[in-house]
Amino acid sequence: MVPILLVLLLALILFGAGFALKALWWLAIFVLVVWLLGFVARGTSSTGSRGRWYRW
């Protein structure tokens, strides 16, 4: 009985990790798209130049 429970627990952990990694990949893709859109569509200053695209 214990080996069956250990196998089921392992399967549950691996399934949870796989789901979390897939969700993190989708989040990373979303953040990349938003960053690229912000990079392309950044505003201009009063002189017409685009200036720096980073904040630091």
pLDDT tens per residue across span 25-50: 999 999 999 888 887 777 666 665 66
- pTM higher than 0.85 for the full model? no
pLDDT at 46: 60
pLDDT at 56: 56
> Over the chain, what is the mean pLDDT?
81
Q: What gap in Å lies between CA 28 and CA 13, rounded to an integer?
A: 22
CB burial readout 4-40, b (16+ within 10 A) else e: eeeeeeeeeeeeeeeeeeeeeeeeeeeeeeeeeeeee
Kindly give, in sequence order, each residue whose CB lies less than 8 Å from that of residue 42, ignoring residues fewer than 6 positions away. Answer: 50, 53
